[in-house]
């Protein structure tokens, strides 16, 4: 994540799934000086922990914006084409809907990244039909079928699907 933010010289990133701030920290480290991370999570406790991680790592409060709430409620209120990178690591069942919002949010040349694209090796196994695995498969198909995107599936960790908005 640090690499992607750095290569893009990212000034503005949105993240769905704050967690304890690990991914956000790597994103902040790769961003340009003064860049702002917007991170959305349902759990206020996750955001409290992330705030501690970010400030203890030397990032000023102006460098991150933590929004508590459902991603599907928050993302529609964010600025069209206002982000260099959109990182999605929230509710897997909502990935397809996140995709629709992410394409709107990312600027041309920007990158959309989905975490857990291999979902514990379940995505490649057609016998796995649980809601999360099915939703991830649907999202991968949407990304691969979209002519506006250039994508790659990276077998790193539990899989990262990265797609650049071309044009």
Q: Read off the CATH number of the domain in which 41 is found.
A: 3.40.50.150
The C-alpha angle 119, 2, 151, rounded to 5 degrees, equals: 50
Strand partners, 114: 88, 161
- CA proximity to 139, closest of 108, 154, 118: 118
Which residues, at least 6 apart from 127, have a Cβ–Cβ distance to it below 8 Å?
none
For residue range 5-53, what is the model confidence (pLDDT) as tens digits?
A: 999 999 999 999 999 999 999 999 999 999 999 999 999 999 999 999 9
**pLDDT confidence of residue 14:** 98
Tally of domains in the chain: 1
For residue range 136-154, what is the model confidence (pLDDT) as tens digits?
A: 999 999 999 999 999 999 9
**pLDDT confidence of residue 138:** 96
For residue range 81-112, what is the model confidence (pLDDT) as tens digits?
A: 999 999 999 999 999 999 999 999 999 999 99
Q: Residue 119 is part of which domain span? A: 2-165
């Amino acid at each position: 994540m640090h690499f992607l933010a750095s290569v893009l010289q990212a000034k503005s990133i949105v993240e769905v799934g704050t967690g304890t701030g690990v991914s956000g920290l790597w994103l902040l480290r790769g961003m340009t000086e003064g860049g702002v991370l917007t991170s959305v999570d349902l759990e206020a406790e996750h955001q409290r922990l992330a705030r501690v991680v970010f400030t203890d790592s030397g990032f000023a409060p102006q460098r991150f914006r933590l929004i508590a709430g459902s991603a599907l409620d928050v993302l529609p209120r964010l600025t069209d084409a206002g982000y260099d990178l959109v990182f999605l690591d929230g509710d897997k069942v909502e990935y397809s809907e996140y995709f629709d919002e992410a394409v709107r949010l990312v600027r041309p040349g920007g990158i959309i990244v989905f975490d857990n694209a291999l979902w514990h090796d379940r995505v490649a196994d057609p016998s796995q039909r649980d809601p999360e695995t099915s939703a991830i498969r649907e999202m991968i198909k949407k990304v691969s079928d979209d002519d506006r995107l250039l994508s790659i599936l990276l077998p790193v960790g539990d899989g990262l699907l990265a797609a650049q908005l071309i044009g």
